[in-house]
Amino acid sequence: MPLITITGLPSSGKTTRTNEIKKYFEKQCKKVVVVKENELLGENKNAILSDSKQEKDLRGALKADALRVLNKDDVVILDAANYIKGYRYELYCASKQLKTTQCLVQILAAIEQAWEWNEERPEGERYTREVFDGLVGRYEAPNSSNRWDAPLFTAVANEALDLEGIHAALYLSRPPPPNQSTQTQPLTSTNFLYELDHTTQVTLAELTRARRQFISYTKMHPVEDCGKLTTLFVQYLNTTLS
């Protein structure tokens, strides 16, 4: 049920920390499902991340894969850069709609340190300098004051990650309640759509006639506060068209 979103610079150690989190929760007898960005990138990572359309498709596929496996029991870890704050907001809203808890884990590393780690990788797994710098430039660091970036946990190289804190955030707190923007509204009756369509049908002729009548009436009864004209016209339409 809980969603753990990983975020960080390229080659900062995201997968290493993901494996650490996975091992911890498995020891807690939790089933853990990891959605891996690297599996979708494969050997074409530099080509994909150099093309904005392919990169957008990648994010969509990762989001779809993560939401597909979310359920009431399993821990889902999204091991990816997740560097766009709007994308993290989408993940937050999706988990909110599914009534799950969630948290964000930021993997911190200095840019040049991350580049050194990138250079130590096998040749086929490295980012080119151009792609690496592009990802660094597009990275939007999380802010814990944003509800979609909270609760936020940070992982610094050679320092222990607060795994117990992550566990508490996911299992000892309640998920945020879904609101109108994230909750599907049920139909109140079998003929709801028919009534909705029928009730909202207004012809242009009816609107024009109502407008002329309102103007004629208002000329005979002037309003001192012109700011109220819009409200009065809406009220007139409500009365006339109903």
- Segment 217-226, tens digit of pLDDT: 788 778 777 8
Q: Are 27 and 172 in contact (CB under 8 A)?
A: no
Domain 3-171's class?
alpha beta
* Per-residue confidence (pLDDT) for residue 198, from 0 to 100: 60
Q: Note the pLDDT of residue 195.
A: 59
- Separation between Cα atoms, residue 237 and residue 210, nearest integer Å: 7
Give me the average pLDDT of each 10-residue run along the chain (242 residues): 94 97 96 96 93 95 94 90 96 90 96 97 94 97 94 93 96 77 48 59 77 82 80 78 64
Name the pTM for this structure: 0.73
Q: Residue 104: its pLDDT value, please?
A: 98
pLDDT at site 135: 97
Can you give the pLDDT at residue 201? 67
Indicate the domain borders of the chain: 3-171, 192-241
pLDDT of residue 14: 97
In whole angstroms, what is the distance from residue 208 CA to residue 214 CA?
10
- C-alpha 201/C-alpha 179 separation (Å) is 29
Give the SS3 label for residue 223: coil
Classified as helix, coil or strand, 196 is helix
For 60-113, what is each residue's pLDDT tens digit?
999 999 999 988 778 999 999 999 999 999 999 998 888 899 999 999 999 999
pLDDT of residue 238: 75
CA 25/CA 128 separation, integer angstroms: 34
Angle at the Cα of 45 (from 43 to 46), degrees rounded to 5? Answer: 115
